[in-house]
């Protein structure tokens, strides 16, 4: 964990994981001036997100991006925003577009849905899946086990979780890459012990983050922390440079007032 996070009162994780994780774990971040509390999303919020239809969905990935030169973490400013086209209750449609700043997104009539460029997992349908399934690490592991019977079985398992085709693809490629690079490490790691006593990730999750994380983020676009969503794994609120690792955003799109 970076020295910057020592000033934070909390680590970021779901309310369900609070009793089983680090005592500082909470669905909020409190680091000096930077404070963010994750809204208490429910099934109705996920249903509202799925009622929107994306007019410019990402195309299926033509090949496995992990077979190419590994991506590097891109810290350049970018924000993926949803721009409503027909926001009526009976026909909600929208487009996704990447902007260099939050202000530029708002000026174009958009609402930022996550930090980083738009990608394979940026749709509201994929966002709803992230909201509905707090422990995708466990669900992804189950789909990975099915992958032993073939890539199509693994991909189908991920789509059945609620992911769009493109998002399920990048998840599937991520699982394959982690299996290739980290199988020995993960086999020796207890699946329920996500963190070490010093607060760092266990060896399996750390291996995945180093070997698969940058490429996954580059192609998926949306991740939990980029979307202000917690999980069962307690994560730092700030990165190693002291910048916000959890992007403060609320996912109410012309359906409820932001709280």
Q: Encode the chain (259 residues) as per-residue pLDDT tens digits.
A: 555 567 787 889 987 766 555 677 899 999 988 999 999 999 999 999 999 999 999 999 999 999 987 666 667 789 999 999 986 767 789 999 999 999 999 999 999 999 999 999 999 999 999 999 888 877 888 898 876 766 789 999 999 999 999 999 999 999 999 999 998 888 877 665 666 656 678 888 899 999 999 999 999 999 999 999 998 888 889 987 888 999 999 999 865 434 3
Tokens of 134: 């707090």
Q: Tell me how far apart the alpha carbons of residues 240 and 5 are, in angstroms, rounded to a whole number.
A: 8
Q: Tell me how far apart the alpha carbons of residues 245 and 186 are, in angstroms, rounded to a whole number.
A: 25
Q: Which conformational region is residue 150 in: left (phi greater than 0), alpha (psi within -120 to 50 degrees), or beta? A: left
Q: Are 136 and 229 in contact (CB under 8 A)?
A: no
Look at residue 142 in the predicted model and tell me its pLDDT: 85
Q: Tell me how far apart the alpha carbons of residues 208 and 144 are, in angstroms, rounded to a whole number.
A: 13
Q: Tell me how far apart the alpha carbons of residues 89 and 230 are, in angstroms, rounded to a whole number.
A: 29
Tokens of 241: 């440079």
| Burial state string for 162-194 with b = 16 or more CB within 10 A and e = fewer than 16 | bbbebbbbbbbbbbbbbbebbeebbeebeeeeb
CA angle, 125 then 128 then 132, to 5°: 140
In sequence order, which residues have a C-beta less than 8 Å from that of residue 44 and are 6 or more positions away?
none
Q: Tell me how far apart the alpha carbons of residues 191 and 187 are, in angstroms, rounded to a whole number.
A: 9
**DSSP designation for 89:** T
- Residue 174: beta bridge partners? none
Look at residue 16 in the predicted model and tell me its pLDDT: 76
Q: Tell me how far apart the alpha carbons of residues 204 and 196 are, in angstroms, rounded to a whole number.
A: 11
Look at residue 213 in the predicted model and tell me its pLDDT: 92
Q: What is the reported pTM?
A: 0.90
Tokens of 38: 């994750």
Q: Tell me how far apart the alpha carbons of residues 256 and 44 are, in angstroms, rounded to a whole number.
A: 11
Cα torsion 185, 6, 32, 221 to 10°: value is -10
């Amino acid at each position: 964990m970076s020295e910057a996070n020592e000033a934070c009162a909390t680590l970021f994780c779901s309310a369900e994981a609070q009793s089983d994780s680090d005592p500082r774990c909470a669905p909020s971040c409190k680091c000096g001036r930077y404070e963010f509390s994750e809204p208490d999303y429910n099934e109705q919020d996920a249903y509202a997100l799925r009622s929107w239809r994306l007019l410019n969905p990402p195309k299926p990935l033509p090949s496995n991006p992990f077979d190419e030169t590994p991506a590097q973490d891109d810290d350049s400013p970018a924000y993926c925003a949803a721009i409503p086209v027909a926001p009526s209750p009976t026909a909600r449609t929208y487009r996704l577009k990447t902007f260099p700043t939050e202000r530029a997104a708002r000026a174009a009539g958009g609402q930022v849905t996550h930090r980083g460029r738009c990608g394979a997992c940026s749709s509201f349908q994929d966002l709803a899946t992230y909201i509905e399934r707090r422990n995708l690490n466990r669900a992804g592991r189950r789909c990975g086990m099915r992958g032993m019977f073939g890539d199509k079985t693994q991909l189908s398992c991920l789509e059945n979780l609620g992911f769009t085709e493109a998002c399920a693809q990048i998840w599937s490629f991520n699982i394959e890459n982690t299996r290739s690079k980290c199988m020995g490490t993960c086999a020796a790691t207890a699946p329920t012990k996500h963190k070490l006593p010093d607060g760092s990730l266990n060896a399996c999750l750390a291996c995945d983050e180093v070997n698969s994380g940058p490429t996954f983020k580059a192609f998926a676009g949306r991740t939990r922390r980029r979307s202000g969503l917690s999980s069962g794994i307690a994560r730092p609120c700030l990165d190693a440079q002291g910048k916000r690792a959890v992007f403060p955003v609320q996912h109410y799109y012309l359906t409820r007032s932001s709280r």
